[in-house]
Amino acid sequence: MIANTPKPPYYAVIFSSLRTEKDEGYEEMAELMMNLAAQQSGFLGVESVRDGLGITISYWQDLRAIQQWKQNSEHQIAQRKGRADWYKQYKVRIAKIERDYEFL
C-alpha cells in the first residue's frame, strides 16, 4: 500500500536490509515496530517490501520526530536484536522530501 503523505516538506527514513537465515521472532517484532511507530508523534506513514532485499520507508513530519523514534526504548531493543540476529547488512538513509506527485 502506498502511504498517504501530506504536502511536502516532510522526511523519509529509508531502511534497506539483507536478512540472515534466522527468523525466530522477526515477524512479531516487525509488526510490533510498525504498530508502535504509527503511535509516535510526527509519524506520517510507511511502505515496505521484501524480495531478497528489504526496503522500508517511513515518513515523518520532521527530524525531531525521527530522533524520538530512534530513541524509543522498544525500538532500541529491536535494533539490537536486528544487528545480533536478523540482518546480515543494513543501511539507513534520511531524506527531506521537497516535492511529490501522484497518479490515482
Domains belonging to the chain, first-starting first, are: 10-97 (3.30.70.100)
Enter the pTM of the model.
0.94
The confidence score (pLDDT) of residue 81 equals: 96
Return averaged pLDDT per consecutive 10 residues of the chain, 104 residues in all. 96 97 94 96 97 96 98 97 96 98 94
Q: Which residues contact 2 (CB under 8 A, 6 or more apart)?
A: 47, 102
Are the CB atoms for 89 and 15 separated by under 8 Å?
no
The confidence score (pLDDT) of residue 32 equals: 96
Task: Report residue 41 as a C-alpha cell.
Answer: 508523534
